[in-house]
Chains A and B, each alone.
Chain A
């Protein structure tokens, strides 16, 4: 038999450092509480056991002051814990602007990952140490969850929408990647590894993948082959929104709302074009639902992010 008590599991990201600090505090606090509760329980049980000679007359059965103390005391402590954890959580929700993008498509029972330069991996992710990495994720079938215990991060990967997760590895090495949301027969085999490399090693590793076109280049090719440029291209005679620099911009919709053209919006506009029509345009675009697979959709969206630059420049994403 192998294994250990695992009291101090590997910790290899900035988030892990923060969480371990919080957990240490919580563990100390809660051990104190459980010890006090347990000790009081045992002490009362021994002191006031039947037959023990103890004064028992007039034992109080209520005291507003004491009850007020033990209601508001925990409340204050709880609010403190809440604020600490919420602060760390918002940090996890705020993706650094310079994060290196990686694209993840989950399916039963594997992870397909693609770097911006077009290098692909299966159930394995190479990343550089000390640099924020942003994962844009979706699922081809059921809900999965991207979980790296050593980084203390997890995000469900949901079909029909993009979810994002970011991390910054602090230690080189290999770490487990688990699917944490039950997804069918081989859920427990939907595992992989995260390989954290030094920046130089990572650059060398990534370079070995430059034979293939970058994601944005592939996206541009798809943009043309699906005929998107027939309407959205610069020379088109069709009255359709021009897409240069659309990604991340605020878009005014026909129904008066304003919406940020994030990746989910771009995805929906391709698959469900009638849902959020841009102000000033007729809802004439056909739906591409069921025609483009998730990896290709991500490539097209990547192209929309990088725009004209992607049409020639291969080096763009390796800034």
Chain B
């Protein structure tokens, strides 16, 4: 693997290919579109995060002394809607994936560059519309939009929010189609399926979920709108509908959506861990099969959100069993990452700290997921803070940690500059500590019976809430720090070499930042991914 330090002149890289706003807004270059995505994703993340901060302030005391009931309800709706659809779902696939998928397979661009730009416009248009609707008017349904509350009882701007999410969904579908076609058609010569980096596998599987599940969300939202606007009885029993039908349709999308959020995160970690352990990923094939297994079984577990909904007990028995089965491939992945570390030559750069944090937090999130998959335990724990803690361990401890790890890892490639390493490590540690202080107490709250979506609560829960709120302010620092030093690095960071981590993977064989068409000539692949050798690794740290 080349350890090149050649510098490229400004004109040769994609960032310099056009500097006007117009050149950015009309670009077809997947790398520039990726940056458009990353900027908008970051903005949405901090808006959704601000809603969370307000909620945590409110919850520091049992009484509702900061905001009104309705405002609180709008805040958690805003937090959920923005974080799920505007941040988590597009974060790794549309942000990092957009940049990396063509580069990792040795292609000049995605299969449909114009479609890619359209995806971003749909995303940012739908997203802005939703955010304006959430801030200017607000909706109080929660991100789950349960009927008949959302259709006939809520007096808030539900329709606008539904419309925004509906539009953003099309962006997901288009990105999914683009990735699937790209991976099938544009792999470099010699790049067979089992030579693909796991990041590509993960985003490929995610794309399949995006394409199969998102249309169901679109239909469900349309049905909601039909009932709310036209009074067509679909979900409200007063109109002859069935409220459980909504939950089945919603979770048929939204459970697989969890895997849309976490599979790409697993892909990122599978790139970082081998690089910083200087070792081939352990059990490559089973890692790839595990990704596919999660994507497939993930479609068959949606009913585990409905154990106490009034769903048939027999259905619940089946959904519970399938939920345990979907945990097996996740467990395999954790063991394989651990085994990758053994015998490695491990360096604790910031991306690695994020990746190690991911492994620990994802493990705890997964294990508590098993508790929730256990039928009798779920009866007690569902709709309490235990669930809130569990899915934040997966989505924040898992997906956000991996996203940040990925941003640091590929930052030199994307921007052509390095970030301050020590600050990166500090931010990763602060985020890890703040995260645990925020969400671990919520497991205890949940077991003690604290229901979620409660604006005011009995006094005995206060201590744990205060711990959680304190953690949230630390976590916020952990997220603001990278915003600061990465922005600094954007303009002032030292120039990066083409492969500062001495990583394998085609994206590291080209210059940093890459030329507009990625590769001077189409690379030819002759070996498997992750050709690292820890025994041959020099002891000195990287240049």
Q: Which residues of A contact B (CB under 8 A)?
A: 1-7, 9, 15, 18-19, 22-23, 26, 30, 33-34, 37-38, 40-41, 44-45, 48-51, 54-63, 66-67, 70-71, 74-75, 78-79, 81-82, 84-86, 88-93, 108, 141-143, 145, 147, 149-150, 152-156, 158-161, 163, 176, 178-189, 191, 272, 290
Contacts and interface: CB of A to CB of B under 8 A. Distances in A.
A59 B148 CA distance: 58
Interface residues of B, number: 101
A154 B535 contact: no
A152 B317 CA distance: 19
A70 B313 contact: no
A56 B146 CA distance: 55
B347 A3 contact: no
B contact patch SS: helix
Interface of B: 64, 69-70, 73, 140, 142, 146, 148-149, 153-154, 236-238, 240, 242-244, 277-286, 307-310, 313, 316-317, 320-321, 324-325, 327-328, 331-332, 334-336, 338-339, 341-348, 356, 359-360, 363-364, 367-368, 370-371, 373-377, 379-380, 382-384, 444-445, 447-449, 451-466, 534-535, 537, 539, 541
Contacts of A147: 383, 449, 451
Contact of A163 (B240, B281, B310, B345): B310
Given A159-B148, A178-B449, A3 B464 contact: yes
B460 A61 contact: no
Contact of A41 (B140, B341, B376, B466): B341
Given A92-B376, A145-B383, A158-B309, A1 B454 contact: no
Given A61-B280, A89-B375, A184-B153, A56 B324 contact: no
Contact of A149 (B238, B244, B308, B380): B380
B457 A188 contact: yes
B341 A154 contact: no
Contacts of A6: 444-445, 447-448, 460-461, 464
16 contacts: A1-B466, A3-B465, A6-B447, A37-B334, A41-B356, A41-B359, A48-B344, A55-B535, A56-B343, A75-B325, A88-B376, A92-B376, A143-B148, A145-B383, A154-B383, A160-B238
A82 B342 contact: no
Nearest to A187: B453
Sort A-B residue pairs by CB-CB distance and give the 7 closest, nearest first.
Answer: A160-B237, A149-B449, A59-B343, A3-B463, A85-B374, A89-B375, A88-B376
B153 A48 contact: no
Given A49-B345, A62-B282, 12 more contacts: A1-B466, A3-B459, A9-B448, A37-B334, A45-B348, A48-B342, A89-B313, A159-B236, A176-B458, A183-B149, A184-B154, A188-B451
A89 B316 CA distance: 10
Contacts of B153: 108, 141-142, 184
B69 A185 contact: yes
Most buried by B among A40, A49, A59: A59
A176 to B, nearest CB: 7
Contact of B279 (A45, A61, A79, A159): A61
Contact of B242 (A50, A58, A160): A160
Contacts, number: 285
A147 B153 CA distance: 22
Given A45-B341, A67-B286, A74-B328, A9 B244 contact: no
A145 B379 CA distance: 11
Nearest to B274: A61
B328 A56 contact: no
B284 A61 contact: yes
